[in-house]
């Protein structure tokens, strides 16, 4: 069976969480099951996918998917002792992808994939379908001229909460790592 026993466990875990949170809906897109971000021809897989979900670009979808992802990651032992930082960074990343990346267009999707790497490190990958951006061009919210702005703190928070932060695909993909 493609994906093996782990796929069944993840699908059941999402279904259980879906039943608990009746206000949310499960969205599935026809796509391949994510592989380890380090896998490929000639490379050994560095970890396993413990959670994967695509959501429409609606801000009200952030909280339910974060709750489901954190529940599954906790069950796999991925977020021991650092769950608050991981949860906040994930919430900010998803909100940024929805609001800034996809411009809150419900037909566009945001993809979240969570991996547990072989050394126990948690890798969160958030992808949007927007036009991308240059992360270096984002204003520093700690500068005096930006202190009273009501936006622009999400990337700053993510960089300070996670151990590694990397943007790919012209800013449409965010990879965040939290080491154990």
- What is the DSSP annotation of 16-61? HHHHH-TTS-----S-PPPPPTT-BTTB---EEEEEEEEEES-GGG
Contact (Cβ atoms closer than 8 angstroms) between residue 86 and residue 148: no
Domain assignments of the chain as residue spans, ordered by start: 47-178
Q: How far is the C-alpha of 132 from the C-alpha of 128, rounded, in Å? A: 8
Q: Within a 10 A sphere around the Cβ of 166, how many other Cβ atoms?
A: 12
Q: What percent of the chain has pLDDT over 90?
A: 65
pTM score, whole prediction: 0.76
pLDDT of residue 6: 40
Q: Which CATH architecture has domain 47-178?
A: 2-Layer Sandwich (3.30)
Q: Which residues pair with 126 in a beta bridge?
A: 112, 174
pLDDT of residue 87: 97
Contact (Cβ atoms closer than 8 angstroms) between residue 110 and residue 101: yes
- pLDDT tens digits along 48-93: 999 999 999 999 999 999 999 999 999 999 887 779 999 999 999 9
- Residue bearing the bigger pLDDT, 128 or 81: 128
């Amino acid at each position: 069976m493609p994906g093996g026993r782990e796929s069944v466990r993840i699908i059941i875990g999402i279904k259980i969480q879906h039943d608990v949170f009746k206000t949310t809906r499960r969205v599935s897109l026809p796509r391949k099951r994510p592989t380890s971000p380090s896998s490929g021809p000639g490379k050994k897989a560095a970890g396993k996918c413990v959670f994967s979900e695509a959501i429409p670009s609606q801000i009200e979808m952030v909280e339910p998917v974060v709750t489901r992802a954190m529940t599954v990651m906790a069950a796999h032992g991925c977020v021991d002792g650092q769950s608050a930082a991981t949860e906040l960074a994930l919430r900010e990343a998803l909100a940024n992808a929805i609001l800034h990346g996809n411009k809150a267009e419900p037909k566009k999707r945001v993809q979240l994939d969570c991996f547990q790497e072989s050394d126990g490190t948690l890798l969160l990958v958030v992808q949007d379908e927007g036009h991308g951006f240059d992360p270096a061009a984002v204003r520093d919210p700690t500068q005096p001229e930006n202190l009273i702005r009501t936006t622009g703190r999400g990337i700053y928070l993510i960089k300070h909460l996670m151990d590694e932060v990397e943007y790919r695909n012209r800013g449409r993909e965010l990879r965040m790592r939290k080491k154990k």
